[in-house]
Structure formats: C-alpha cells, structure tokens
Amino acid sequence: MVRQTRQRAAVADALAGLDDFRSAQQIHDLLRGDGIEIGLATVYRTLAMLASEGVVDSIRTPDGEQVYRRCAVTGHHHHLVCRVCGRAVEIDGPGVETWAGRVAAEQGFSDVEHTLELTGVCAQCRGADSGLSPAPK
C-alpha cells in the first residue's frame, strides 16, 4: 500500500506553488531552503511516482534533464515553454493527435505514441529582452 509521509506531502506542496518545470534537484533545493528535511533520493522517487501516476507531467530539457510540473489540465496534452523565463502554458492539440495517428497508419505503424513540445519567447520576455530579470524564477 502507499503510505502518506511528510516528505511526499512536501514535494506535492512544492509543485503546487510552481507554474514552470523544475528538476528533481531544484525541488530538493527549494524544500531544503524552506527548512524541510528531505533526501535527494526521496525527491527523485516521489517525482517519478507522481509522474507515473499522471499527477505531474515530466519532459526532458534539451540538455537531457528531467523536469516536472503539476499541470492544471489533466490527461494528455503538450506545452509551450518560454525559453527565457520558463513559464509554461498548457496546450492540447486535437489536430496533432489525429495527424499523428494518420501518419503512423500510412506507414503501417500501430500503437503510436508521440512527444511534442513547443518553445518560444513569451510576450513579457520579448519586451524586456535585455539582461533584465524577466519573470520570477
């Protein structure tokens, strides 16, 4: 059975207060910074569990790091992430879903899955495109 622990609650809480993707290590630092004692391995384990339950989304940054986010939307969807500040917007692409299925079928593939992520520069960051601090980290 799955037990309720102080650590798991802490990770969930941390995710609840964020609106962009964070790595396991960042979450760990956040919690430690708040004086919460938790091991790095536990953060990794908890995030992996939440992700497999579908409670949080996880994607890989271009440099291969896994990052997690608790999304407003549940179920399958994609993201549009600001390359500057990290802000993320939920996207659902019905068009993409059907396109993927069709293309796969045409090639004789079945059980198709897909990954799709968009990146760009958000309005706020575009305006202040100097070295200024964009949006809160």
Minimum distance, C-beta of residue 32 to Zn ion, in the bound complex (Å): 26
Please tell me whether residue 113 binds a second copy under the rule CB under 8 A: yes
Residues 3-42: x where in contact with a second copy by CB under 8 A, - otherwise, as a string: ----------------------------------------
CA-derived radius of gyration, the chain: 17
- CA-nearest of 89, 85, 84 to 71 is 89
**Residue 108 touches which of DNA, a second copy, Zn ion, none (CB < 5 to 8 A by kind)?**
a second copy
Asked if residues 93 and 116 have their Cβ atoms less than 8 Å apart, the reply is: yes
CA 12 to chain centroid? 13
In whole angstroms, the minimum distance from the beta carbon of 79 to a second copy comes to 10
Is 80 a binding residue for Zn ion by CB under 5 A? The answer is no
38 binds, among a second copy, DNA, Zn ion, none (CB under 5 to 8 A by kind): DNA
Phi, psi (degrees; rounded to nearest 5) at 23:
-85, 165
Selected binder of a second copy within 27, 30, 56, 82 (CB under 8 A)? 82
Give the SS3 label for residue 30: helix
* Contact predicate 118/78, CB 8 Å: yes
User: Which residues sit at the interface with Zn ion, rule CB under 5 A?
Assistant: 57, 71, 82, 84-85, 87, 90, 122, 125
